[in-house]
Amino acid sequence: MPGKLKAKIVAGRHLPVMDRASDLTDAFVEVKFGNTTFKTDVFPKSLNPQWNSEWFKFEVDDEDLQDEPLQITVLDHDTYSANDAIGKVYIDIDPLLYSEAASVISGWFPIYDTIHGIRGEINVLVKVELFNDLNRFRQSSCGVKFFCTTSIPKGYRAAIVHGFVEELVVNEDPEYQWIDRIRTPRASNEARQRLIFLMSGELQRKIGLKVLEMGGNAVVGYLQCFDLEGESGLVVRAIGTACTLEKLSSGSSTHTHPNTAPASNACNSPSKDGKEPVFGEDLPSSSGPPTPFRALPTSSSSPPPFSPSKPCSRQSSSSDTDLSLTPKTGMGSGSMGKDAGPLKTLLRQQTQTALEQREFPFFTLTSFPSGFLLHVGGVVSARSVKLLDRIHNPDEPETRDAWWEEIRQEIKSHAKALGCHAVVGYSENTNICEEVCILSASGTAAILNPRYMREGCLDIAGSDHRFEDPSPSSCGFCHIPYDELNMPFPAQLTYCFHCRRQKVPDVLFTTIDLPSDAAIAGKGCFIQARLCRLKKKAQGEVNATAISNLLPFMEYELHTQLMNKLKLRSMNALFGLSIQISVGENMLLGLASATGVYLTALPAPGGIQIAGKTPGDLNNEQHIMNIQKRINDTIAKNKELYEVNPPELTEEVVGSPIPEPRHRSRLFRSHSESSDELSELDLSHGKKDAFVLEVDDTDAVEDIHSLLTDAPPPKGFHSCNTETMPGIYNWTSALQMFTSVRVLRLSNANLTNQALNKIFTDLCENLLKSFYFKLRSMVPCCLSHLNFSVAVPEEELIQVAVTAVAMTFDKDQTQEKPAEKPIMKGCSEGEEQLQFPLELCADSSSVNSQSSSRISGVPESSSLSTRAASVDYGSFADRCSTWLELLRLKAHTIRRGSVKTSRRTQSLAHSVSSLEHSSPITEGRSRLLRSSRSFGGSSVSVVKMTPLSFLPGTRIVKYLGIINMFFIRETTSLREEGGVSGFLHSFVAEVFAMVRAHVAALGGNAVVSYSMKDCVLMENPNKNQCQCLINVSGDAVIYIRETDLEAIASTVGLSSTNSDGAT
């Protein structure tokens, strides 16, 4: 009997009138957990009942505690007929199961009904008493902490990053059960809500078990999704990164990190003790000198694929892939030679051995402690089209497990082809249309620092070897991980513009956040590629094949668009890239979003050159010149707008964005097979440095026009889809999280691809314009973490849902870099927050790091090389076409001048936003907002919400647990509720309200890493009906404003009770 759950129903308020005669309600409450139900007395004739019940006690297994939610149903007592349900509250008690999280849930919860929405509130108290259970074979995983945040949570330090965990649970969808024919939609929706609560509880528990088996105590970057497959079932799946987290005590100095037990591992002893016999197959994985793998299995142009010694046995049950991954390697102390070649080999060796025992060396994290990420290869992705009606055993997870397994293997091999052993910023998602399901996975191939694989604490060898590290953190991640002589794809390499020692590509695409210590020029900007493709209506296999065939073309075009837009903004890298492909009956939508930035380590991008195919035609020539001029003007304007002024340009290129004709390579747009062009592309080598857009048909003209239609954000606004906006670091505390949904009905059934593209592009652009307008009072402000998701809910309908946060910043300071803090490491308060204590780069002399704000004075070299780039898409295979996203970087280098001026570029060495910065003015404002909440006598505490992992101007002092909620709302009086817009508006507001209430009841005052995973809207205006499902998640936290923090600085221990080891 390992746990006792206690609940007390205190009172209700604002209840709806249930008895028309008296205008009052006779309310009572049912409290249910598992199969046990308690009832309160009826509190007659009141809309504000005071039940003040006894403590209802449930004695349950901790397994149930994890799986089940506490169900509270408020009813109206009726003597003669059945009692009417007023509404329900589901309380996830998981946060009470961690020893250091919330101890009690207490507060007002909105009473929710799937038909009427929120109907009053109920005040509830919930507690859990856990008994120690030493049963080794337990099924529960109480105590494993979950974080949605995709970085190491603030206030923690990752002792060990264990790696990828995944799980998948399947059930029959209540909406498709036979009983659904006879029960009301309301009953069916309630059954669905309840089931999903149960399933996600179970899923979390199972993931927790895997984490415990791996020896971890937390899951970071937890990403849970629902697949409403319809007839074949309801799938809840999740991925995450298992870690062993240690809480940083605020008082302790950063020097004194407990060098925990595995310290011995840090040196040469490969501790194999954790090894389990199951894995006998891959025992001596560290022995063979690993060769970089250059071959894409699917690519033909590369040398034959090197077949690595199979690193990990594929297990029979693929849902249990990652058991027992205790890192065991024969890595060295981590010191490296100065020579690039051997170093790389050594590195690879170490990393590989550390990672290769894992079936999937994937990490869902998107930002890392500095030093963790050594090199980044590029984006890897895979897609697969599946037919749901072909699942043999729909109730069992095996088939889906196998599908994902397949995709992950593909990702892994792509990463290998890029010479990388890990995939970071990894995510998975699905898109379902009728019986067709597209599974997608993407991430960024990378080489990680092997030390973190086993021992996160870096202070073993002190900082000595850091100086031996040839890759300063400001540019190291840009250096190519693959072998220069055997590149996996043609790429144009130059020497790194920072260290001059290693090669870098000319463009870098990633799915992760900009590393905090990366050196950039100017500010970042939001870049989006949008694409619509018509598809013939079809069924089953034919449909799946048609989609499979379209996918690579879509990805190719999206890439081309992204690349062009990037060039147009005079930038050379994309972060946070996410590509979404959505299927409808008769079309496919593709949406790629990313944040562009100018990395000073990478060469400056060339311009875009327009070429006509039919020279001689004067009219055309004139036209092309006009376009060219517009493009050049746009580039010049963008440079100014985003303050992209790398110093080399002023010295050499004299700011001209117009590439000289002799340095150009060509990008061929092709609507047919791209293979034909390959030879032509190669021919152009050595002549061009800019993108050439060939205007050969009307499509091309359209596309160029659409390039230029992207309006830059109005003055005072910036936008990005990453955690932090590159180039802005002085956030003030004002913040507004929002969700916006727009659905467009295409009235004309006979649209062309171009017309569709235009409509789709306008839809996205208009949404952005709307945001700017609505949030204009916040300028200067930045829309961060812009997360677009597209769907085709029905034929003729396009739905775009966006969640983002607007944050204000102090304009006056944007030009300066943050003042170098005189505080040296180890003595600053901010240091305590460091997840990883030591993060000096090679230039550490100039680095004073304070938490996430660090400055690196980086030597810049001015040797400018011009480059050519060309996008090609990797091969795609058979009908289950998965596709590798690889940028084919057509390359050559022309050295222009050999001036090597090395200098400190003050203006460029930006550090990325620090939460510590906040202006006193807005602090005051927010305090006002917070403190004066007690308007009108009673008070509702303010709960901030943000999709980011931090709140500017504050420090998160406690993580209270994960919020993962699923709601269904339906109506049969759509018109009366203000149409679909009115219906959804109130539903979204209700979802926010319920999230806030749950956070407040846990004692929290904010949700970070908030995201809306699903928003599925089904309408039937003719019947005056509508239904919507929303799934949201995030981390409930307590934050303290920096200013308050200083006041209470040393006195309060920040409730960090050092209660680690919750396992």
Partner 1 sequence: MAVELDVFVGNTIIMSEEVYQLWLDGYTVNDAVKVRMDGGALDEFEANADVVQSDTMDQYRTFQMCERLLHSPTKLANQLLFQIPPHRQATLIERYYAFDDGFVREVLGKKLSKGTKKDLDDISAKTGVMLKSCRRQFDNFKRVFKVVEELKGPLVENIRQHFLLSDKLARDYAAIVFFANNRFETGKRKLQYLTFQDLAFCAGQLINNWTVGAVDNMVEDMDVDLDKEFLQELKELKVLITDKDLLDQHKSLVCTALRGKTKAFNEMEANFKNLSRGLVNIATKLTNTKDVRDFFIDLVEKVSCPENFLSFHFVVWDRYMGVIKSCIFKMYHD
**Interface with partner 1 by CB under 8 A: which residues?**
13-14, 108, 110, 118, 121, 711, 714, 717, 736-748, 759, 766, 769-777, 797, 799, 928-929, 932-940, 942-945, 978-982, 984-986, 988-990, 992-993, 996-997, 1017
Q: Which is nearer to partner 1, 887 or 1017 (CB)?
A: 1017
Q: Which is nearer to partner 1, 645 or 986 (CB)?
A: 986
Q: Which is nearer to partner 1, 636 or 759 (CB)?
A: 759
Give the shortest CB-561-to-partner 1 separation in angstroms: 22
Burial class (CB within 10 angstroms; exposed 0-12, middle 13-18, buried 19+) of 1: exposed
Give the shortest CB-766-to-partner 1 separation in angstroms: 6
300 touches 675 (CB < 8 A): no
- Residues contacting 135, CB < 8 A, separation 6+: none
Q: Which is nearer to partner 1, 51 or 717 (CB)?
A: 717
Q: Which is nearer to partner 1, 159 or 994 (CB)?
A: 994
Give the shortest CB-774-to-partner 1 separation in angstroms: 5
Give the shortest CB-777-to-partner 1 separation in angstroms: 8
CB burial of 234-259 (b: ≥16 within 10 Å; e: otherwise) equals: bbbbbbbbbbbbbbbbbeeebeebee
- Phi and psi of 918, rounded to 5°? -160, 140
Q: What single string gives the DSSP state of each residue in 357-418?
A: TSS--B---S---TTTEEEEEEEEEEEEEEEGGG-SSTTSSHHHHHHHHHHHHHHHHHHHHT
Give the shortest CB-997-to-partner 1 separation in angstroms: 5
Give the shortest CB-796-to-partner 1 separation in angstroms: 9
Q: Which is nearer to partner 1, 966 or 992 (CB)?
A: 992
Q: Which is nearer to partner 1, 185 or 982 (CB)?
A: 982
> Which one, of 794, 807, 703, 793, lies nearest residue 757 by Cα?
703
- Residues contacting 406, CB < 8 A, separation 6+: 384, 882
Give the shortest CB-190-to-partner 1 separation in angstroms: 21
Q: Which is nearer to partner 1, 267 or 921 (CB)?
A: 921
Query: Using CA atoms, how far apart are residues 597 and 522, in angstroms rounded to an integer?
Result: 8
Q: Which is nearer to partner 1, 910 or 996 (CB)?
A: 996
Give the shortest CB-1007-to-partner 1 separation in angstroms: 9
Query: Using CA atoms, how far apart are residues 516 and 554, in angstroms rounded to an integer?
Result: 32
Q: Which is nearer to partner 1, 774 or 879 (CB)?
A: 774
Q: Using alpha carbons, list the distances in angstroms from residue 48 to 16, 51, 979.
A: 10, 10, 31
> Which one, of 352, 467, 362, 341, lies nearest residue 408 by Cα?
362
Burial class (CB within 10 angstroms; exposed 0-12, middle 13-18, buried 19+) of 500: middle
785: helix, strand or coil: strand
Query: Using CA atoms, how far apart are residues 441 and 579, in angstroms rounded to an integer?
Result: 10
Query: Using CA atoms, how far apart are residues 749 and 455, in angstroms rounded to an integer?
Result: 59
Encoded tokens for 229? 């497959």
Give the shortest CB-226-to-partner 1 separation in angstroms: 21
CA atoms within 13 A on the CB side of 994: 29
Q: Which is nearer to partner 1, 943 or 968 (CB)?
A: 943
Query: Using CA atoms, how far apart are residues 163 and 143, in angstroms rounded to an integer?
Result: 18
Give the shortest CB-752-to-partner 1 separation in angstroms: 13
Give the shortest CB-432-to-partner 1 separation in angstroms: 21
Give the shortest CB-736-to-partner 1 separation in angstroms: 5
Give the shortest CB-982-to-partner 1 separation in angstroms: 6
Query: Using CA atoms, how far apart are residues 695 and 628, in angstroms rounded to an integer?
Result: 11
End-to-end CA distance of the chain: give it in Å, rounded: 18
Helix/strand number for the chain, H first, E second: 15, 37
Q: Which is nearer to partner 1, 739 or 865 (CB)?
A: 739
> With the C-alpha atoms ordered 668, 672, 678, 680, is the resulting torsion angle positive or negative?
negative
Other Cβ atoms less than 10 A from the Cβ of 686: the count is 14
- Residues contacting 51, CB < 8 A, separation 6+: 9, 10, 11, 12, 28, 29, 40, 41, 43
CA angle 127, 130, 135 (to 5 degrees): 155
Give the shortest CB-751-to-partner 1 separation in angstroms: 9
768: helix, strand or coil: helix
Q: Which is nearer to partner 1, 14 or 138 (CB)?
A: 14
Q: Which is nearer to partner 1, 642 or 717 (CB)?
A: 717
Give the shortest CB-533-to-partner 1 separation in angstroms: 18
Q: Which is nearer to partner 1, 786 or 943 (CB)?
A: 943
**Residue pointed to by tokens 């109907």:** 119
Give the shortest CB-797-to-partner 1 separation in angstroms: 7
Q: Which is nearer to partner 1, 707 or 980 (CB)?
A: 980
Per DSSP bridges, beta strands 691-695 and 608-612 are parallel
Q: What single string gives the DSSP state of each residue in 230-249?
A: ETTEEEEEEEEEEEEEEEPP
Other Cβ atoms less than 10 A from the Cβ of 273: the count is 7
Query: Using CA atoms, how far apart are residues 269 and 196, in angstroms rounded to an integer?
Result: 46
Burial class (CB within 10 angstroms; exposed 0-12, middle 13-18, buried 19+) of 291: middle
Give the shortest CB-948-to-partner 1 separation in angstroms: 13
CB burial of 612-638 (b: ≥16 within 10 Å; e: otherwise) equals: beeeeeeeeeeebeebbeebbebbbeb
Give the shortest CB-22-to-partner 1 separation in angstroms: 17
Q: Which residues pair with 475 in a beta bridge?
A: none
Q: Which is nearer to partner 1, 178 or 773 (CB)?
A: 773
Q: Which is nearer to partner 1, 178 or 935 (CB)?
A: 935
